[in-house]
Structure 1
Amino acid sequence: MATPKRSPWFTLGMATPGAVLNVPVPNSLHTHSIGPPHSSLVTLRTLSAPLNPADINQIQGTYPTVPPFTSTLGTAQPTAVPGNEACFEVLAAGSGVKSVKKGDWVIAKYTGLGTWRTHLQVEEEKVQRVEKEGLRSEQVGTVGVNPVTAYRMLKDFVKLEEGDWWIQNGANSGVGRAAIQLGKRWGTNSIAVVRSRPGAEGEKLKKDLEDLGATKVVTDEEMQQKDFKDQVKEWTDGYSSPLKLALNCVGGDAAMAMAKPLSPGACMVTYGAMSKSPMRVGASMLIFKDLRFSGFWVSKWSDAHPEEKKRTVDELLEMMRTGAFRDTPMVEVRWDWGTERDVLVEAVQGTLEGFKKGKGVFVFGDT
């Protein structure tokens, strides 16, 4: 049967035994079995797998890539398993496997592996081993997208010297929190832009981000005031350092407001478009300020630089291991053999909602 390029029905896979949820409007669970691994195959048990917005966009058919469809999951029609990030435990390895052994923890080496399932069997080359000592599976399972995105954007687009300033919107996101901590660790100053929250909730968030290392925390409304540019100039002049970088996950007019105080020759890196509005770049920004507008897609970067990804992941995990990096707030969603379908469905459907208590993460029991 030919594999369709796109289908309104994707699957959240489970195996050995397991379940598959059809999405959108999930309405079933599917079970199937996995045989013993041979040659270069490894059998994995999923320990934890986050629910990222990009995973939902794939299901909706609005993302540039879709998971590969397969007829090997025992479904009547070819299906695809969403999820690009997870921590797995090796249950068994074929005779030709050299890099991992039973009991090791691994993560996906490339995107599109399909992680929302209890078990899977893949080629050894599709995963990479991580040192699990001193770490929780949720930390390992969420390291490859948000923290790596933050790390690479701070390192790869401009050379930030100690004391330099940079700004970001969506600062309470997983990427934003990671960037704040990394920027502080590397001696830079950050301006964290967040959506306005009422009363004590807003003050609590501001203190939380300042405790992480943000130099200044402002709301979207404050950033779009006419005097914000002058305020930034006052902050940065105190350090005699330019505002060299902006990290943008919102887009639209909010992104352009963030670009206005940037120093000549600075760069804005866009890695998301939460507002779903276009960015209208003024000619003066390009001609007179020589601003650069670039994009970053961690999936494409990771697939093109697997060895550099491994080095980045290892460095980030070492920070977590030593307590030098705080986890993003998480909402654990247990996925055990007896977990009801509606619990999983609700977790998936709530991923794109605003003002969440934390990142949703499937945490798997001994299935």
Structure 2
Amino acid sequence: MRHLSLTAVGGDLNDTVSLVEGREPVLAPGDVLVEVDAAPVNNADLLFTMGWFAAQPRLPQALGAEGVGRVVRVGDDVDRSLTGRRVLILPTFVQGTWAEQIVVPAHSIVPLSVTDEADVLQLAMLPVNPATARALLHDYVALRPGDWIGLNLANSAVGHYVITLAKQAGIKTLAVVRREEAAKQVRALGADAVVVDSPELGERIAAALNGEHLRLALEGTTDPEQTAALVRSLEDGGTVVTFAAATGQAPSVPVGDLIYRGIVLRAFFILNWIRDTAPEKRQEVYAELATLVEQGVLKAPVEATYSLQDHQAALSHAARPERTGKILFVPRNPRS
């Protein structure tokens, strides 16, 4: 049962991550053994290896937060009908999905009912970014068809999913990006308005909205100037939700907008959502997202897949700043 393991926090991943042979799996009551089909490399995984994430490694630490696979064996107190089922593996940063097989508590998987025609790579990416995008659209403001939302970091994985899910719901998206190449990507996804960052960003956003206002702003850069530009076109009493911090700065809203216009600043973290959401609701959300994958509606670009043996190349590829698609480990049948 081979898996990728972190042996030291920080430093060169070529030195701190290795492929190791695990022990024969032992299932405690409530556990399941899952054969992993695919597991993505997310930015959070890379931050985790550096000790820059909410969860901290306990060395040696199995790596990989999310993925998809099939249950091959169940422990006591687990429904036997799960055996053979395809399941999502929810992120905990305890068990590692960059593996051939993993033992995971049954409460950390979500059984799927999609057919084998559903793209396994897209399914593997469901637990984190698509669930984040759906929560951003549904859990903060009661949006209606025709409403406008704004988002920066729009060419990120979360941004891609937000635009797709908003389009499905008839919600209009104003996307802010930093480069024209990224603008082309989000236009192709179906964003209703795309604005490239500039010193006149606030004016460009207002012009694109043509007199209308945003009901919700989704903030992923934590760049104060970008946030302020979005807030200028946000309705009074509107909500800003921070879902990432690409610049490493603390999220902020101009004090005048907070005090005089009643703008609300919130934040989203997927591990908290998984912890706080009832299992029945989680099952409903992931079933909905998996159906959209099976229908070909929900699809993130994949740049390459790698075997576990090629982990050095995979992690190097995942760290490239100009990457345009996701990197995944496919333990048994890689393609690139």
Counterpart residue identity of residue 5, structure 2: V
Equivalences for residues 205-244 of structure 1 within 5 A: 205-221=182-198, 224-225=200-201, 227-234=203-210, 236=212, 242-244=213-215
CA distance in 2, matches of 1:193, 1:226: 11
Match of 1:89 among 70, 74, 81: 70
1:104 and 1:147 map into 2 onto residues whose CA distance is 21
Q: Is the 8 A contact 2:242 2:251 kept in 1?
A: no
Whole-Å separation in 2 of the counterparts to 1:283 and 1:122: 45
The aligned counterpart of 1:183 is 166
Q: Please tell me whether Structure 1 or Structure 2 has the larger radius of gyration of its CA atoms.
A: 1
Conserved in 2, the CA contact under 8 Å of 1:34 and 1:120? no
Conserved 8 A contact 1:110-1:127: no
Compared CA separation, residues 290 and 99, structure 1 to 2 (3 A):
farther
Task: Tell me, in whole angstroms, the C-alpha distance in 2 between the residues paired with 1:269 and 1:140.
Answer: 26
Distance change >3 Å, CA 226–CA 168, structure 1 → 2: closer
Q: CA deviation at 1:36?
A: 6.1
Letter in structure 2 aligned against 1:144 = P
Q: In structure 2, what residue type is equivalent to 1:184?
A: K
- Structure 2 residue 281 is matched with structure 1 residue 308: yes
Q: 1:86, 1:141 within 8 Å by CA — same for their partners in 2?
A: yes
* Greater displacement, 88-97 / 56-65: 88-97
Matched, 1:130 2:112: yes
CA 1:96–1:109 in structure 2 vs 1: closer, same or farther (change >3 Å)? Answer: same
TM-score by length of 1: 0.81
> For residues 80 and 90 of structure 2, what CA distance do their matches in structure 1 show?
13
Q: Report which of the two has the higher share of strand.
A: 2
SS at match of 1:20: strand
Deviation (angstroms), 1:320: 1.6
Instruction: Write the distance in 1 (CA, Å) between the matches of 2:47 and 2:4.
Output: 21
Distance 1:225 1:123 in 2: 47
Letter in structure 1 aligned against 2:204: F
Deviations 1:248-290 (A, max 9, x none): 1101222222222211111110011101133443221012221
For the residue of structure 2 that corresponds to 1:275, the secondary structure is: coil
| Count of paired positions | 325
Question: How does 1:327-342 map onto structure 2 within 5 Å?
Answer: 327-335=299-307, 339=309
Structure 1 pair 114–219 and aligned structure 2 pair: CA distance change class (3 A):
same
Relative to structure 1, the CA distance from residue 29 to residue 211 in structure 2 (aligned partners, 3 Å threshold; closer, same or farther) is closer
Which amino acid in structure 1 is aligned with residue 266 of structure 2? S
Match of 1:317 in 2: 290
Equivalent residue number for residue 103 of structure 1? 84
Q: Does 1:152 align with 2:135?
A: yes
- For 2:54 and 2:26, the matched residues in 1 are separated by 34
Give, in angstroms, the shift of residue 21 of structure 1.
5.1
Distance 1:283 1:266 in 2: 14
Once the two structures are TM-superposed, the CA of residue 109 in structure 1 deviates from its matched residue by: 4.1
Amino acid at match of 2:142: K
How far 1:103 moved relative to its partner? 2.3
| Pair 1:354-2:336 in alignment | no
1:50 aligns to 2:75 (yes or no): no
**Structure 2 regions of 5+ residues with no counterpart?**
none
- In 2, Cα distance between equivalents of 1:254 and 1:225: 7
Which residue is 1:9 aligned to?
none
Q: Secondary structure of the equivalent of 1:227?
A: helix
Worse-matched range after superposition: 28-37 or 303-312: 28-37
The residue type equivalent to 1:20 in the other structure is S
Q: Which amino acid aligns with 2:63?
A: P
TM-align CA RMSD: 2.4
Separation in 2 of the partners of 1:351 and 1:303? 27
1:48 deviates by 0.6
Q: Is the 8 A contact 2:237 2:263 kept in 1?
A: yes
Q: CA deviation at 1:147?
A: 0.7
Q: Within 2, Cα distance between the matches of 1:139 and 1:182?
A: 15
Give the Cα–Cα distance (whole angstroms) in 2 for the partners of residues 229 and 35 of structure 1.
Answer: 55
The alpha-carbon deviation at position 233 of structure 1 amounts to 4.6
1:103 maps to amino acid: G
Contact between 1:180 and 1:190, CA under 8 Å: does it hold in 2? yes
Residue segments in structure 1 that go unaligned for 5+ positions in a row? 1-15, 70-77, 237-241
Task: Using the TM superposition, give the Cα deviation of residue 176 of structure 1 relative to its aligned residue in structure 2, in angstroms.
Answer: 0.5
Of 313-322 and 344-353, deviating more is 344-353
Q: Quote the residue 1:3 is aligned against.
A: none
CA contact (8 A) 1:243 1:261 kept: yes
Q: Is the 8 A contact 1:248 1:255 kept in 2?
A: yes
Which amino acid is 2:48 matched to? Q
Q: Distance in 2 between matches of 1:53 and 1:110?
A: 13
The within-5 A match list for 1:188-203 is: 188-197=171-180, 202=181
Distance, in Å, in 2 between the alignment partners of 1:163 and 1:99 is: 46
Identity %: 26
CA separation in 2, counterparts of 1:346 and 1:324?
A: 30
In the TM superposition, residue 130 of structure 1 has moved relative to its aligned partner by 1.2
Match of 1:239 in 2: none
Label 1:195 to 1:136 Cα distance change in 2 as closer, same or farther (>3 A): same
Distance 1:228-1:120 versus aligned 2 partners, 3 A rule: same
- Distance in 2 between the 1:323 and 1:144 partners? 17
Amino acid at match of 1:85: E
Paired residue for 1:296?
268
